[in-house]
Amino acid sequence: MRHDAEFIKDGNILMSLWSKGEKCPYQNSERDFIFKEKASLWEEGEPKLRGYKLFKALCKEKHIKI
């Protein structure tokens, strides 16, 4: 979710408002990273994983051999 938040103006603010009950800024819209909207999982700040490290973590989570 933090990756998507980087791609819209005031993304961190909008996502933080969403986590407190506002409408999700990504409902019914295109985005770069697909996530299930679950407000309790939102954390402000920079993404912890990027690039290849993110790719490897996702493959491991989904049991995809690379």
| Residue-wise pLDDT tens digits, 53-65 | 888 998 999 999 9
C-alpha angle with apex 66: 43 to 35, nearest 5 degrees?
25
Domain that holds residue 51: 2-61
Answer for the pair 1, 15: CB distance below 8 angstroms, yes or no: yes
Q: pTM for the whole thing? A: 0.59
pLDDT at site 46: 83
In a domain, 66, yes or no: no
Separation CA 28–CA 58 (nearest Å): 23
- The confidence score (pLDDT) of residue 37 equals 73
47, part of any domain: yes
Q: What is the pLDDT of residue 65?
A: 93
Number of domains making up the chain: 1
Q: pLDDT per residue over 10-40, tens digit each?
A: 888 998 999 999 988 877 666 666 667 788 8
